[in-house]
């Protein structure tokens, strides 16, 4: 027991000696007058910049479709029920600009919120407004009145190393501000399916529900990440948490503050990681980079001369190790920006400069915006693994009781044509329904097909 205690003190002392400046480490004394390492001075300095966020909103109640039938309700005497219910959620945020009152948080913390209340460490509650949000990267910026606020300095997250000590500050389970510590377990985590753009810091500092949007800081008290998600197979914390790096959050925040949104430029390619086998086949010495698997016709990449089989090894002079890194880097650029891609073609290096174009059509679309008789249906592309991919559009959702629902559309239907015109994308679908009084839909449902007439 004594050995474990001595080892723990030695480890903490090492943390203080190598990670904290002397000014940030004011040691306490034990009963014998010896100095004890502590993170308290740093926490006391940074915690006022981490805030609690409470939201209120309303969502539509999804009940049984029979309850939407007025004849059923009248026959069985079913009373009218509210079509909406109030919602509330708790999360965290970080003050990053005290002069302007900007608070950085996760998009999912304030999503669908009608009211946002920010509670400071000193007990003050302030009403906040949304400056901008980016669902793809799960980043949002809100603003509170700039009155005696404390902001956290932003560190260069690219300088983080696995093994660096970090501290997570947030509001787990609505308990109030809570501090946990750990290390950086991994960097550049992607492919988790949590967000559209992923480049996570992984940490074993405890992150729980309510910590979302809170601060991940280094031992200098600088913000290195925004706590976002946990991997919890059993429903609780198992020491695997994820944070958005500050460099990524900073770039997104600048666009949100300036434009209110992130309007990402389009490159127009599909890429995959360069494996050792592919590197050998393409005569690449180092298996690091991304190979261009497909170039869309008439896309910015095609116009710039990028070809299938090109291996992208750098973006704007910065080396890239995977397709996800290319996507994340380009995803922070806007329409009209130029990006220099360092590629290897036929074993020879070259540079291809691409001017990013307008983003492609949205992955999802509200059909009510295209035709009022289809209101309540949400459409998107057919899944990649379907043999009908590229031959129609998928019904992603249908709101019970809506006009689309009453017309017979159901979730997972595949619309192949409208008025005998193929609808392989939203552009074709828009042309097919434009000015049409009657809609004849050719639908694939399950293993069969049918026609629907909507008048």
Catalogue the active-site residues.
108, 138, 212
- Whether 24 and 221 have beta carbons less than 8 Å apart is answered as yes
Burial class, 362, CB count within 10 angstroms (exposed 0-12 / middle 13-18 / buried 19+) = exposed
CA atoms within 13 A on the CB side of 285: 2
In 356-438, the DSSP E strands lie at: 365-366, 377-381, 393-398, 414-418, 421-422
Q: Are 181 and 221 in contact (CB under 8 A)?
A: no
What is the DSSP secondary-structure string of 41-109? HHHHHHGGGEEEEEEEEEEE----GGGG-HHHHHHHTPPP--SEEEEEEEEEEEEEETTTTEEEE-HHH
Contacts of 273 (CB under 8 A, 6+ apart): 290, 291, 322, 323, 324
Residues 6+ apart with CB under 8 A from 144: 101, 103, 118, 126, 127, 128
Residue 188, token pair as written in the block:
């550049």
The three-state secondary structure class of 87 is strand
Which region holds residue 176: left if phi is over 0, alpha if psi is between -120 and 50, else beta? Answer: left
The Cα–Cα gap between 339 and 175 comes to 46
Query: Using the 8-state DSSP alphabet, how is residue 14 labeled?
Result: H
Q: Among all chains, which residue has been given the structure tokens 């990402």?
A: 264
Residue 264's DSSP bridge partners are 334
What stretches of 29-167 show up as alpha helix (H) in DSSP?
40-46, 70-76, 107-110
Q: 3-class SS at 8?
A: helix
């Amino acid at each position: 027991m004594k050995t474990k205690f001595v080892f723990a003190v030695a480890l903490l002392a090492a943390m203080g000696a190598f990670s904290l400046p002397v000014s940030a480490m004011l040691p306490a004394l034990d009963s014998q007058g010896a100095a004890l390492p502590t993170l308290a001075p740093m926490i006391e300095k940074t915690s006022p910049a981490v805030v609690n966020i409470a939201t209120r909103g309303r969502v539509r109640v999804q009940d049984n479709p029979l309850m939407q039938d007025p004849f059923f309700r009248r026959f069985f005497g079913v009373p009218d029920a509210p079509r909406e219910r109030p919602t509330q959620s708790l999360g965290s945020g970080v003050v990053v600009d005290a002069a302007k009152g900007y608070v950085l948080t996760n998009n999912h913390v304030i999503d669908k919120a009608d009211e946002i209340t920010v509670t400071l460490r000193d007990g003050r509650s302030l009403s906040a407004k949304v400056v901008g949000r980016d669902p793809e990267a799960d980043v949002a910026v809100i603003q509170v009145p700039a009155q005696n606020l404390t902001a956290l300095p932003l560190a260069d997250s690219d300088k983080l190393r696995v093994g660096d000590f970090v501290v997570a500050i947030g509001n787990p389970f609505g308990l109030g501000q809570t501090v946990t510590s750990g290390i950086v377990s991994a960097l550049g985590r992607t492919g988790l399916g949590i967000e559209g753009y992923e480049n996570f810091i992984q940490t074993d500092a405890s992150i729980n529900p309510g910590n979302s949007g809170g601060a991940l800081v280094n031992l200098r008290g600088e913000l290195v990440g925004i706590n976002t998600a946990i991997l919890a197979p059993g429903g609780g914390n198992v020491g695997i948490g994820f944070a958005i790096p500050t460099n990524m959050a900073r770039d997104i925040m600048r666009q949100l503050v300036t434009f209110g949104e992130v309007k990402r430029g389009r490159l127009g390619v599909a890429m995959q990681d360069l494996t050792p086998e592919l590197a050998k086949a393409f005569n690449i010495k180092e298996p690091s980079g991304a190979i261009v698997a497909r170039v869309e016709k008439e896309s910015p990449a095609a116009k710039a001369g990028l070809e299938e089989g090109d291996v992208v090894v750098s973006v704007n002079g910065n080396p890239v190790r995977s397709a996800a890194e290319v996507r994340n880097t380009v995803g922070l650029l806007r329409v009209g920006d130029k990006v220099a891609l360092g590629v290897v073609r036929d074993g020879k290096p070259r540079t291809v400069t691409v001017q990013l174009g307008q983003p492609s059509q949205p992955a999802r679309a509200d059909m009510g915006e295209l035709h009022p008789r289809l209101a309540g249906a949400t459409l998107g592309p057919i899944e990649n693994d379907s043999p009908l991919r590229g031959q129609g559009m998928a019904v992603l959702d249908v709101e019970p009781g809506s006009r689309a629902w009453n017309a017979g559309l159901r979730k997972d239907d595949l619309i192949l044509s409208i008025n005998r015109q193929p609808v392989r994308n939203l552009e074709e679908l828009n042309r097919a329904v434009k000015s049409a009084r009657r809609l004849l839909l050719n639908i694939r449902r399950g293993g069969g097909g049918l026609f629907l007439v909507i008048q």
